[in-house]
Amino acid sequence: MEFQQRTVFCGTLRKFDVGSEVTLNGWVQKRRDLGGVIFVDLRDRTGIVQTVFNPEINAAAHEIGDKVRTEYVISVKGKVVERDPETINPNMLTGEIEIQVEEIEIINQAKTPPFFIEDDVDVDEQVRLKYRYLDLRRPQMFKTMQLRHKVTKMFRDFLDGHEFLEIETPMLTKSTPEGARDYLVPSRVHPGEFFALPQSPQLFKQLLMVAGYERYFQIVRCFRDEDLRADRQPEFTQVDIETSFLNMEDLLTMMEEMMAKIVKELKGIEIETPFQRLTYADAMDRYGSDKPDLRFGMELVDISDIAQTCGFQVFNGTVNRGGQVRGINVKGCAHYSRKDVDDLMKFAGKYGAKGLAWMAFKDDEIKGPIAKFFTEQEIATIKDRLQVENNDLLLFVADKAKVVADSLGALRLKFGKELGLIDESKFAFAWVVDFPLVEWDEEAKRYVALHHPFTRPRPEDLHLFDSEPGQIRAQAYDMVLNGYEIGGGSMRIYKRDIQEKMFKALGFSQEEANEKFGFLLEAFEYGTPPHGGIAFGLDRIIMILAGASSLRETIAFPKTASAKDLMTNAPDAVDAKQLEELSIRISIPPNQKS
């Protein structure tokens, strides 16, 4: 059975269409039956228009209109007519007109949906995810998917305009050490062997540089089998970029230009370039984070020197053991109750802080149990350094650097959000640079690459390989936006001797390195250009541009926090026969049955 095809979209009709004969296809948003006349709001992806079924116009159509229900798929033919002035609906873009229906065809019936197809629908996300195809009918979701399409296209257009080639790399690839846990795919042809889904096309893009492709990009799905967060999905999309014969400055400049252009075109906001740059050390010291939200201040202030000489044992003891004491000024919160502060302590405790010292300044009075350990002079210095005014609350953490940064950094963000210090309309871009090349892993008892094993060290730090590898700074950079890491990359090692030093620092023998990255190392022997690149997290960028707080809002079919798809119920058990073909036997410890 053929149906009457649309001549125009619902949401596009306006007053100047009055008089024209149109056919519309779409879903029934709402039916209002007034006995004689029936109104049906018809929706497609462009919007909603009111159609009118009047028995005096067409009795047959009116009769069918009576049977129509929510979410039925229909085709209506009729005339666009102007509404009487008193019946104009100013809340609808199409509110000045309506469709006088002459023919209607029910293309498909529909069950009543479990929730209303409308924005700001108050329904549990579990239900939305199970019926994602209905959720996606909501105008807001159309908007987000449209935004995603646009941004993706802008990336493509910009990179195309800068001589980049989009090249696909394999999804079925080799598991490599370092980095996240791999998603594995068993090979039927090679029993007992596995492909890994890419965590990123890292090695392939470097090989494309060896191959002389100069400028590569790819908008590509990546997979990481790690636990989820609001801003972390097990499969996500990267805008993956690699260049040859381009130094770091030129690459960063180009990437700034790209992001500024996208924000400008989408939001009409002029982004200042070059972006602010912070060293990793600075970011950690001042914001307690390697992805600081620069939309507000409340920086972490070091008072270790004062703490060391003060009478408070927790403070001077921590500093004497090599730790530090830092504080933040929570403006106007001197009124916090004992319980408020207790809650803050609990919060800081999640990040390893063993305590939270506080001082409140209210009308020339200093409150807080630690105040008595400081001399007048010390208090004055603290007030000066933290720019204390009346009614301010100071919070201090004394611990090793990581704990101080993590806990105060988290508190800073919490206050930023709760005290409304963040200007939501702002786009605060920054580069974080000079990351350490390697980091000591207490568990593995060896250094591990902070970025990855092919990251180029800064030339002036090369001599530290033999003495203090932890002090070497990498030519690595993260692009940060509003407290999210939206991109990261590095210049890569292209000299064999440096690569060997790197592997040595990571505790890989030549044999191990060959076994794991042999193909890459071999390729590097055939004329490797200086190269480097970056990868952007497309989903996160969309999330920020859409003003969403979860990646799930930006992905058409996302997974839950336990990495499940509630709509398809994947992952799921498979047939014994399939397993047999793959030479796989399932062995689940009895306490892990799900």
Partner RNA sequence: GGAGCUGUGGUGAAGUUGGAGUUCACGCUGGACUGUCACUCCGGAGGUCGCGGGUUCGAGUCCCGUCAGCUCCGCCA
**Residue 343 is encoded by which pair of tokens?**
């809650």
R_g of the chain, CA atoms, integer Å: 30
Does 34 bind RNA (CB under 7 A)? Our answer is yes
Q: How far is the CB of 471 from RNA (least distance, A)?
A: 16
Interface pick for RNA out of 4, 46, 70, 173 (rule CB under 7 A): 70
Closest of 517, 473, 525, 475 to residue 496, by C-alpha: 525
Does 120 bind RNA (CB under 7 A)? Our answer is no
Please name the residues in contact with 150: beta carbons below 8 A apart, sequence gap of 6 or more.
266
Site residues for RNA, 518-537, by CB under 7 A, read: 535
Interface pick for RNA out of 7, 21, 63, 123 (rule CB under 7 A): 123
Does 451 bind RNA (CB under 7 A)? Our answer is yes
Nearer to RNA, 148 or 451 (CB): 451
Nearer to RNA, 77 or 307 (CB): 77
Site residues for RNA, 229-288, by CB under 7 A, read: 229-232
Q: Report the chain's terminal Cα–Cα distance, integer Å.
A: 46
- Estimate to the nearest angstrom the gap between the alpha carbon of 34 and the chain centroid: 48
Q: How far is the CB of 87 from RNA (least distance, A)?
A: 4
- Asked whether the beta carbons of 294 and 268 are under 8 A apart, the reply is no
Interface pick for RNA out of 2, 84, 120, 376 (rule CB under 7 A): 84
Q: How far is the CB of 35 from RNA (least distance, A)?
A: 2
Compute the C-alpha angle 56/60/62, nearest 5°: 60
Please tell me the distance from the alpha carbon of residue 518 to that of residue 229, in angstroms, as a whole number. 34
Dihedral sign of CA atoms 451, 455, 460, 461 in order: positive
Adjacent-strand bridge partners of 392: 361
Stretch that binds RNA, among 35-43, 209-217, 387-395, 492-500 (CB under 7 A): 35-43
3-state SS string over 337-361? Answer: CHHHHHHHHHHHHCCCCCCCEEEEE
Adjacent-strand bridge partners of 570: 565
Q: How far is the CB of 127 from RNA (least distance, A)?
A: 5
Question: What one-character-per-residue DSSP string does 5-74 give?
Answer: PPSS-GGG--GGGTT-EEEEEEEEEEEEE-SSSEEEEEEETTEEEEEEE-TTT-HHHHHHHTT--TT-EE
Closest of 122, 125, 117 to residue 141, by C-alpha: 117
**Residue 468 is encoded by which pair of tokens?**
């203090």
Site residues for RNA, 197-216, by CB under 7 A, read: 199-200
Q: How far is the CB of 526 from RNA (least distance, A)?
A: 27
Interface pick for RNA out of 11, 13, 22, 98 (rule CB under 7 A): 98
Nearer to RNA, 228 or 281 (CB): 228
Does 171 bind RNA (CB under 7 A)? Our answer is no
Does 417 bind RNA (CB under 7 A)? Our answer is no
Nearer to RNA, 42 or 394 (CB): 42
**Residue 118 is encoded by which pair of tokens?**
């409308």
Please tell me the distance from the alpha carbon of residue 315 to that of residue 504, in angstroms, as a whole number. 39
Interface pick for RNA out of 50, 206, 316, 329 (rule CB under 7 A): 50
Q: How far is the CB of 78 from RNA (least distance, A)?
A: 12
Does 350 bind RNA (CB under 7 A)? Our answer is yes
**Residue 272 is encoded by which pair of tokens?**
């200042």
Does 336 bind RNA (CB under 7 A)? Our answer is no
Nearer to RNA, 54 or 514 (CB): 54
Interface pick for RNA out of 8, 18, 73, 88 (rule CB under 7 A): 88
Interface pick for RNA out of 4, 9, 18, 55 (rule CB under 7 A): 55
The contact mask relative to RNA for 556-585 (x = CB under 7 A, - = no) is: ----xxx-x-x-------------------
Please tell me the distance from the alpha carbon of residue 410 to that of residue 388, in angstroms, as a whole number. 21
Stretch that binds RNA, among 224-232, 386-394, 420-428, 523-531 (CB under 7 A): 224-232
Site residues for RNA, 469-488, by CB under 7 A, read: 476, 478, 485, 488
Does 179 bind RNA (CB under 7 A)? Our answer is yes
Nearer to RNA, 126 or 377 (CB): 126
Closest of 433, 473, 492, 436 to residue 275, by C-alpha: 433
- Estimate to the nearest angstrom the gap between the alpha carbon of 226 and the chain centroid: 15
Does 30 bind RNA (CB under 7 A)? Our answer is yes
